[in-house]
Structure 1
Amino acid sequence: MSRAPEHGPDHWHRRGVIAGAALLALIVCGLALADLFGDSTTTWVPLLATVPALAATAGGPRTVLCAGLLAGGLGVGLCLRHDAPDRTLGMTLAALVVVTLACGLTSALRRRRERVLAAVRSVAEAAQHALLQPVPPTVGPFQVAVRYSAAAAEARIGGDLYALVSTPHGVRLIVGDVRGKGLPAVSMAALVVAVFQEAAHDEPDLLDVVARIERSLARNLGPDDFVTAVAAGYPRPGELEVVNCGHAPPLLVRDSAVLPVEPDRPAPPLGLRALSGETPGLQVLPFADGDQLLLYTDGVTEARNHDRSFYPLAEGLARHICDEPVETVTALHGELLHHVGGHLHDDAALMLLRKPVPAEQTRPAPATPRDAGRVGSLSA
Structure 2
Amino acid sequence: MGFRRRIADLWQPWQTDHALLAIPLGLIVAITVVDVLVPGDIHLGPLLIVAPAITPWFAGPWLTGLVGALAVVAQAIIAVLRDPNELFSTNHQVQIAALALLSLVIVIFSRQREHRMRQLEQVRSVSEATQRVVLPPLPHRLGPLRIASAYRAADDEALIGGDLYAATRTGNGARLLIGDVRGKGMTAISDASVIMGSFRDAAHRSATLAELAGVLEESICRHLVEHAPHSEADELYEQFVTVLMLDIPDEDPVARMINCGHPPPLLLHKHHVTALYPRHTEPPLGMCDLPRTGLTIDPLVFEGDDTLLLYTDGIIEARSSDGTFYPLAERVAQWTDSGPEALLDHIRTDLTAYVGGQLNDDAAAVAIQRSPRLAPGHQLRKMVHLTGSPDHAD
The whole-number CA distance in structure 2 between the counterparts of 1:298 and 1:19 is: 46
* Deviates most, 114-123 or 23-32: 23-32
Q: Is the 8 A contact 1:49 1:95 kept in 2?
A: no
Q: Which of residues 238, 241, 253 in structure 2 aligns to 1:227? A: 241
Q: Which of residues 253, 267, 284 in structure 2 aligns to 1:269? A: 284
Q: Is the 8 A contact 1:229 1:269 kept in 2?
A: yes
Under a length normalisation based on structure 1, what TM-score does the superposition of the two structures give? Answer: 0.86
Relative to structure 1, is the Cα distance of residues 13 and 340 closer, same or farther in structure 2, using a 3 angstrom cutoff? farther
1:39 offset after TM fit, Å?
Answer: 4.2
1:165 offset after TM fit, Å?
Answer: 0.5
1:95 offset after TM fit, Å?
Answer: 0.8
* Deviates most, 151-160 or 112-121: 151-160
The whole-number CA distance in structure 2 between the counterparts of 1:209 and 1:232 is: 11
The whole-number CA distance in structure 1 between the counterparts of 2:11 and 2:361 is: 25
1:17 offset after TM fit, Å?
Answer: 3.9
Relative to structure 1, is the Cα distance of residues 269 and 51 closer, same or farther in structure 2, using a 3 angstrom cutoff? same
SS in 2 for 1:129: helix
Q: Is the 8 A contact 2:272 2:336 kept in 1?
A: no
Relative to structure 1, is the Cα distance of residues 64 and 129 closer, same or farther in structure 2, using a 3 angstrom cutoff? same
1:307 offset after TM fit, Å?
Answer: 3.0
1:102 offset after TM fit, Å?
Answer: 1.0
The whole-number CA distance in structure 2 between the counterparts of 1:155 and 1:298 is: 18
Relative to structure 1, is the Cα distance of residues 29 and 338 closer, same or farther in structure 2, using a 3 angstrom cutoff? farther
SS in 1 for 2:290: helix
Q: Is the 8 A contact 1:162 1:175 kept in 2?
A: yes
> Any gaps of 5 or more consecutive residues in structure 1?
1-8
The correspondence of residues 331-350 of structure 1 with structure 2, limited to 5 A, is 331-350=346-365
The correspondence of residues 125-164 of structure 1 with structure 2, limited to 5 A, is 125-164=128-167
Relative to structure 1, is the Cα distance of residues 71 and 285 closer, same or farther in structure 2, using a 3 angstrom cutoff? same
SS in 2 for 1:275: coil
Tell me the residue number matched to 1:61.
61
Q: Is the 8 A contact 1:217 1:271 kept in 2?
A: yes
1:141 offset after TM fit, Å?
Answer: 2.0
Q: Deviations over 1:57-92 (max 9, x none)?
A: 332110111111111011112223334461112111
The whole-number CA distance in structure 1 between the counterparts of 2:265 and 2:74 is: 67
1:111 offset after TM fit, Å?
Answer: 0.9
Tell me the residue number matched to 2:313.
298
* Deviates most, 210-219 or 322-331: 322-331
Q: Which of residues 206, 209, 214 in structure 1 aligns to 2:209? A: 206
The whole-number CA distance in structure 1 between the counterparts of 2:214 and 2:324 is: 36
Considering only aligned residues, what root-mean-square deviation do their CA atoms show, in Å? 3.0
SS in 2 for 1:148: strand
Q: Which of residues 284, 301, 306 in structure 1 aligns to 2:299? A: 284
How many residue pairs were aligned? 365
Q: Which of residues 250, 259, 264 in structure 2 aligns to 1:249? A: 264
1:107 lines up with 2:110 in the alignment: yes
1:75 lines up with 2:56 in the alignment: no
Q: Which of residues 160, 173, 178 in structure 1 aligns to 2:176? A: 173
Tell me the residue number matched to 1:195.
198
Q: Which of residues 312, 334, 340 in structure 2 aligns to 1:319? A: 334
Relative to structure 1, is the Cα distance of residues 58 and 195 closer, same or farther in structure 2, using a 3 angstrom cutoff? same
Tell me the residue number matched to 2:3.
none
Relative to structure 1, is the Cα distance of residues 375 and 177 closer, same or farther in structure 2, using a 3 angstrom cutoff? same
Amino acid of the structure 1 residue aligned with 2:386: V
The whole-number CA distance in structure 2 between the counterparts of 1:37 and 1:241 is: 83
Relative to structure 1, is the Cα distance of residues 122 and 305 closer, same or farther in structure 2, using a 3 angstrom cutoff? same
The percent of aligned pairs where both chains have the same amino acid is 33
Q: Deviations over 1:341-380 (max 9, x none)?
A: 334333221101112213999xx99x99x847x22359xx
1:123 offset after TM fit, Å?
Answer: 1.2
1:234 offset after TM fit, Å?
Answer: 1.8
1:281 offset after TM fit, Å?
Answer: 1.9
Q: Which of residues 348, 357, 362 in structure 1 aligns to 2:372? A: 357
Relative to structure 1, is the Cα distance of residues 189 and 16 closer, same or farther in structure 2, using a 3 angstrom cutoff? farther
The whole-number CA distance in structure 1 between the counterparts of 2:93 and 2:100 is: 11
The correspondence of residues 6-85 of structure 1 with structure 2, limited to 5 A, is 17=17, 21-83=21-83, 84=86
Amino acid of the structure 2 residue aligned with 1:109: Q
Under a length normalisation based on structure 2, what TM-score does the superposition of the two structures give? Answer: 0.84
The whole-number CA distance in structure 2 between the counterparts of 1:292 and 1:155 is: 29
Q: Is the 8 A contact 1:169 1:201 kept in 2?
A: no
The whole-number CA distance in structure 2 between the counterparts of 1:107 and 1:81 is: 32
Amino acid of the structure 1 residue aligned with 2:240: F
1:376 lines up with 2:372 in the alignment: no
Tell me the residue number matched to 2:231.
none
Q: Is the 8 A contact 1:268 1:278 kept in 2?
A: no
* Deviates most, 306-315 or 273-282: 273-282
The whole-number CA distance in structure 1 between the counterparts of 2:19 and 2:283 is: 53
The whole-number CA distance in structure 2 between the counterparts of 1:250 and 1:234 is: 14
The whole-number CA distance in structure 1 between the counterparts of 2:353 and 2:10 is: 25
Relative to structure 1, is the Cα distance of residues 113 and 105 closer, same or farther in structure 2, using a 3 angstrom cutoff? same
Q: Is the 8 A contact 2:36 2:82 kept in 1?
A: no
